[in-house]
């Protein structure tokens, strides 16, 4: 992250959610920087296969990821008989769930993000009414600050159920910051709380196994140039062990091609990047 600047990757993934007819996130275009919003609105009328091709699959990837996490959120609310008092969105970026999901009418949403990204997001959201009961903003740098203290100060109640979303953030963090955040999730979750966490594995690209050095170096360089280098790629078995250490039991762990099959998106089955989503429950 570049100090004092909003995350560029947050805008890129929001732009990918904002194209399509209908878009995966109808609010996304409104939250983008002024220079990008008209392009995204214009691109919405282009054929989805063309959008997917031009974005290297990102539009399909984001639509599938959004659906997979929304589905996990609804399943968690269902398991709690519709009573989901708290949602914490970690590294929220331009996530608009608090403003688009009617299921959150009784839920307090804590949007946690790097202060640079969060001040930009708050300015864009402005006075828009949330669909959630309430939204509270918590500025935290996962690498340097104590997430638990900040959540407690914001009124997060560790005795009530929480659903945690950590979407598209772990690859940008070093392992100690990932571990510290997981510890906070474990400590501030009452039993039955759930977490949906996306992550990248060391062999997350299709070509990775064959051209690992070349693809790896190119991808790492691209993110470095954006000012948001990747550090936190993690194997499923390791992440499951880390979750177990914070008293979370894995309910399911699947990847973008599994979501593509589930949501009947044939293009999604051919995506190059196989990001994963683990859904786990506090014991």
Ligand X SMILES: C[S@@+](CC[C@H](N)C(=O)[O-])C[C@H]1O[C@@H](n2cnc3c(N)ncnc32)[C@H](O)[C@@H]1O
DSSP states of 101-133: -GGGTT-EEEEEE-HHHHHHHHHHHTTPPPSSS
Near ligand X by CB under 6 A: residue from 43, 125, 169, 185: 169
Query: Is residue 93 a contact residue for ligand X (CB under 6 A)?
Result: yes
The CA angle 159-76-201, to the nearest 5 degrees, is 100
129: number of Cβ within 10 Å: 7
110 part of the interface to ligand X, by CB under 6 A:
no
What is the chain's Cα-based Rg?
18
What is the CA angle 206-207-213, rounded to 5?
135
Q: Where are the alpha helices (DSSP H) in the chain?
A: 8-18, 28-31, 37-43, 48-54, 58-79, 97-100, 115-125, 147-153, 175-187, 208-225, 236-245, 256-262
Judged by CB under 6 A, the residue of 142, 164, 199, 259 near ligand X is 142
The CB-of-85 to ligand X minimum distance in angstroms stands at 21
CB of 87 to ligand X, least distance (A): 13
Residue in 110, 164, 172, 259 binding ligand X, rule: CB under 6 A: 172
Query: Nearest residue to ligand X, using CB?
Result: 93
User: Which is nearer to ligand X, 76 or 92 (by Cβ)?
Assistant: 92
Residue range at the interface with ligand X (CB under 6 A); choices 135-143, 183-191, 203-211, 234-242: 135-143
Total residues contacting ligand X (rule CB under 6 A)? 23
Question: Judged by CB under 6 A, which of 30, 60, 111, 113 binds ligand X?
Answer: 113
Rounded to the nearest whole angstrom, what is the least distance from the CB of residue 131 to ligand X in the complex? 17
Contacts for 273 with CB less than 8 Å, ≥ 6 apart: 57, 61, 200, 204, 205, 256
User: Which stretch, 128-136, 166-174, 235-243, 249-257, contacts ligand X (CB under 6 A)?
Assistant: 166-174
DSSP per-residue letters across 76-95:
HHHHTTT---EEEEET-TT-
Is residue 92 at the binding interface for ligand X, with CB under 6 A as the rule?
yes
- Among 189, 196, 199, which Cα is nearest to 246's? 189
Stretch that binds ligand X, among 134-142, 151-159, 189-197, 213-221 (CB under 6 A): 134-142
CB of 116 to ligand X, least distance (A): 7
Q: Does 167 bind ligand X (CB under 6 A)?
A: yes
Cα–Cα distance for residue pair 210/114, rounded to 1 Å: 36
Which two three-digit tokens encode residue 106?
């009784």
11 interacts with ligand X by CB under 6 A: no
Binding site for ligand X (CB under 6 A): 1, 7, 9-10, 13-14, 91-95, 113-114, 117, 140-143, 167-169, 172-173
């Amino acid at each position: 992250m570049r100090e004092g600047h909003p995350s560029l990757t947050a805008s890129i993934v929001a732009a990918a959610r904002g194209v399509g007819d209908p878009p995966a996130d109808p609010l996304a275009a409104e939250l983008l920087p002024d220079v990008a919003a008209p392009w995204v609105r214009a691109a919405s009328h282009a054929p989805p296969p063309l959008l997917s091709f031009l974005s290297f699959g990102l539009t399909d990837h984001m639509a599938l990821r959004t659906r997979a996490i929304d589905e996990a959120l609804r399943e968690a609310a269902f398991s709690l008989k519709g009573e989901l008092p708290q949602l914490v969105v970690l590294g929220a970026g331009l996530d608009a769930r608090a403003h688009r999901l009617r299921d959150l009418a009784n839920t307090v949403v804590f949007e946690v993000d790097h202060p640079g990204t969060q001040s930009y997001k708050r300015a864009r959201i402005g006075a828009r009414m949330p669909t959630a009961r309430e939204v509270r903003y918590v500025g935290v740098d996962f690498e340097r600050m104590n997430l638990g203290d900040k959540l407690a100060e914001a009124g997060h109640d560790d005795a009530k159920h929480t659903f945690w979303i950590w979407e598209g953030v772990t690859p940008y963090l070093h392992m100690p910051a990932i571990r510290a955040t997981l510890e906070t999730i474990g400590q501030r979750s009452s039993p039955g709380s759930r977490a949906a966490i996306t992550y990248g594995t060391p062999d997350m690209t299709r070509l990775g196994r064959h051209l690992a050095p070349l693809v790896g170096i190119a991808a790492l360089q691209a993110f470095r140039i954006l000012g948001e280098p990747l550090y936190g790629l993690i194997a499923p078995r390791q992440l499951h062990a880390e979750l177990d250490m914070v008293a979370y039991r894995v309910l399911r762990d699947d990847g973008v091609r599994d979501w593509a099959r589930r949501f009947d998106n044939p293009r999604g089955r051919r995506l190059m990047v196989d990001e994963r989503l683990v859904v786990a429950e506090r014991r």
